[in-house]
Chain A
């Protein structure tokens, strides 16, 4: 079954938008999964887009004055406010369009931030923007720690992962808490479209962004973005690690339309062990077999919970 999915992905690149909206010459690390995700997101969004980006890796690698890697209109203000800057952009464009001061064309405001700019410091602004119902998309490029400042833990860092502020100590083995479930928080805001995605599944990611782009109202996409530098993994495995996260059920790919959950990329019936996913990542290297077992149980539990939602959830429009 997995094989068919992979084949499907393999033969689709030629169908994908050729135009790039993020130029070469950006300063991202070798094998950066986040900039790959960003590149695909922008392809799906197309030219009629305004991006409000949070401070972070994608900001720093793209816009050292006087140059920019962005080919769509772009604004960066600060770290914690990408969502509300995007909502300001949306309001500005809406008012100017209504008043005939700009072309009468549909331009989407999109907020983009890393996991810190989404789940931690950016949470309040995001919650406000989603609750107010702006016609905007918010994309979280989640690489599971504060990579820009040197790999410090965030609330999106997985359980027991080692970062520079959750080191693998003799007393405390890395991150003490589990990953915050951002998509669930967004669903609780009754955001009409919430999805998870991963650039290792480019077609799935692009389809979801396009869906969100088309929708009138707020939408949220949480993109799992591998960070070879922060995860202490080989650059060339950036795409593979994303695939493993999905195949192990560590990061399932699903979407929630009006409260109705649906798995968009099937996980193999017998999910791979999390140990396979950990193997090439330095941040999990300290884990003992017992600890890996605990992690596996957590993943199994969360996966079961998700499957329950997929089975039982109903659209609030029904």
Chain B
């Protein structure tokens, strides 16, 4: 086991990207992502990796430059957050439709307005349907691991789709904590060179980004969906390989005291760790509470979720974003619809919480479990809102 290194997680993300020997990065600064951009440019400017760092003039251009560079066969990275992510929104479904394996770090932050630079998941949820592989990191170690893994996932010939690693803004990006870094040799062994199926080069001219008439568009959409759905098999395989090489196990749905749990909390991202402490406290008091953490959001791991829910009576979905005027939080809504036909499905309680940096303490998770126990229906509810 390698030594634990203390480092800010945003800087660790940039170091992980450097270990992947990228060819091109195009990053526009935005709080709380900027330390990734700064440190990556520092790595390039000091010649630690041989890459082009494009200092684009917007996130829209960041993603566009990534598309162009990725199309030449280069290994490409960008990072963003919040407003930046939705400024590049237009290009996100194009990149996945063009099957360009761009890897992106997203420092999760609330969407304006009103302006709020703090952490929630409303940014990524607003681009949920763009056809990207979407992963959520719980801590700095996962940021490193998922970043390296996602290059392999994205570039895999059976996948060829872009991937986004979500890391909670501030809560993770600005956190100094211990992490283990793989060595360059280890990463080289894990991550093969990219072998693109088509590249922009005059030796073999191809046309990319051709438009679809109505007579073929549906087939193209089906093909894209199949590619994303099927990518799960490759993702699982890559996680097996990772475990073999590095000893750390990754699953689409992580479970904590879920086996005999009557009540399960479902979280995403860094809050899961705090929630696990709350589970410990409740277990001490003899309550059968457990925790599920959704690491893989797209493609959605339905089978894994189902098997984790066996025996569960109440599922509490903690959403850090909401669909205004809709059925609640995006995660809660989706899980309700996916389990609609399951006869033995648990009661699903959906809390909207942790919005725009509202801190969630151990007591808050305990309070939500208590509230869920008393709740009679399955309507969604804001947690901790002042009345």
Do A and B share a direct contact in the complex (Cβ within 8 angstroms)?
Answer: yes
A binding-site residues for B, Cβ under 8 Å: 47-50, 52, 59-60, 63-68, 70-78, 80-81, 84-96, 98-99, 101-103, 107, 109, 124-125, 127-128, 131-132
The stretch that binds A, out of B46-54, B145-153, B298-306, B311-319, is B46-54
Question: CB-CB < 8 A to A49: which residues of B?
Answer: 202
Contact B67 A85 (CB under 8 A): yes
How many whole Å from B275's CB to the nearest CB in chain A? Answer: 40
Judge whether B231 is part of the interface by a CB distance below 8 angstroms: no
With A66-B210, A72-B202, A98-B50 as given contacts, are A92 and B72 in contact (CB-CB < 8 Å)? yes
Contact A95 B61 (CB under 8 A): no
Contact A73 B58 (CB under 8 A): no
Query: What separation, in Å, do the CA atoms of A70 and B210 have in the docked complex?
Result: 11
How many whole Å from B258's CB to the nearest CB in chain A? Answer: 43
How many whole Å from B210's CB to the nearest CB in chain A? Answer: 4
Contact A89 B69 (CB under 8 A): yes
Question: CB-CB < 8 A to A128: which residues of B?
Answer: 56-58, 61
Nearest B residue to A88 via CB reads: B68
Query: What separation, in Å, do the CA atoms of A41 and B306 have in the docked complex?
Result: 58
Chain B interface residue count, Cβ-Cβ cutoff 8 angstroms: 47
Which of A68, A72, A88, A93 lies in contact with B66, CB distance below 8 A? A88
Contact B211 A88 (CB under 8 A): no
Judge whether B16 is part of the interface by a CB distance below 8 angstroms: no
Question: CB-CB < 8 A to B207: which residues of A?
Answer: 63, 68, 70, 73-75
Tell me the B39-80 residues at the A interface (CB within 8 Å). Answer: 50-52, 54-58, 60-61, 64-74, 76
Which of B64, B90, B201, B210 lies in contact with A84, CB distance below 8 A? B64
With A88-B67, A96-B23 as given contacts, are A77 and B91 in contact (CB-CB < 8 Å)? yes
Judge whether B115 is part of the interface by a CB distance below 8 angstroms: no
With A63-B211, A78-B94, A98-B50 as given contacts, are A127 and B57 in contact (CB-CB < 8 Å)? yes
Q: What would be 21 A-B contacts, judged by CB atoms less than 8 Å apart?
A: A50-B200, A63-B210, A66-B210, A67-B210, A73-B206, A74-B200, A75-B68, A75-B207, A77-B95, A81-B64, A81-B91, A88-B66, A90-B68, A91-B26, A91-B52, A92-B68, A92-B70, A93-B201, A95-B23, A96-B72, A107-B202
Judge whether B209 is part of the interface by a CB distance below 8 angstroms: yes
Contact A101 B73 (CB under 8 A): yes
With A92-B74, A125-B61 as given contacts, are A78 and B91 in contact (CB-CB < 8 Å)? yes
Which of B72, B90, B213 lies in contact with A89, CB distance below 8 A? B72
With A52-B68, A70-B205, A73-B206 as given contacts, are A96 and B55 in contact (CB-CB < 8 Å)? no
Contact A102 B211 (CB under 8 A): no
Query: What separation, in Å, do the CA atoms of A133 and B372 have in the docked complex?
Result: 58
Question: CB-CB < 8 A to A94: which residues of B?
Answer: 52
Query: What separation, in Å, do the CA atoms of A312 and B271 have in the docked complex?
Result: 66
How many whole Å from A66's CB to the nearest CB in chain B? Answer: 7
Contact A64 B208 (CB under 8 A): no
Contact B205 A74 (CB under 8 A): yes
Which residue, of A48, A77, A92, has the highest number of chain B Cβ atoms within 10 A? A92
Q: Give me 17 other A-B pairs in contact (C-beta within 8 A), A75-B200, A88-B71 excluded.
A: A49-B202, A63-B207, A63-B211, A64-B213, A65-B210, A65-B212, A73-B200, A75-B208, A76-B210, A76-B211, A77-B64, A85-B68, A95-B50, A102-B73, A103-B201, A124-B57, A128-B61
Nearest B residue to A71 via CB reads: B205
Judge whether B1 is part of the interface by a CB distance below 8 angstroms: no
Judge whether B222 is part of the interface by a CB distance below 8 angstroms: no
Which residue, of B56, B73, B210, B220, has the highest number of chain A Cβ atoms within 10 A? B210
Question: CB-CB < 8 A to A64: which residues of B?
Answer: 210-213
Nearest B residue to A49 via CB reads: B202
Which of B65, B205, B220 lies in contact with A88, CB distance below 8 A? B65
Query: What separation, in Å, do the CA atoms of A252 and B55 have in the docked complex?
Result: 35
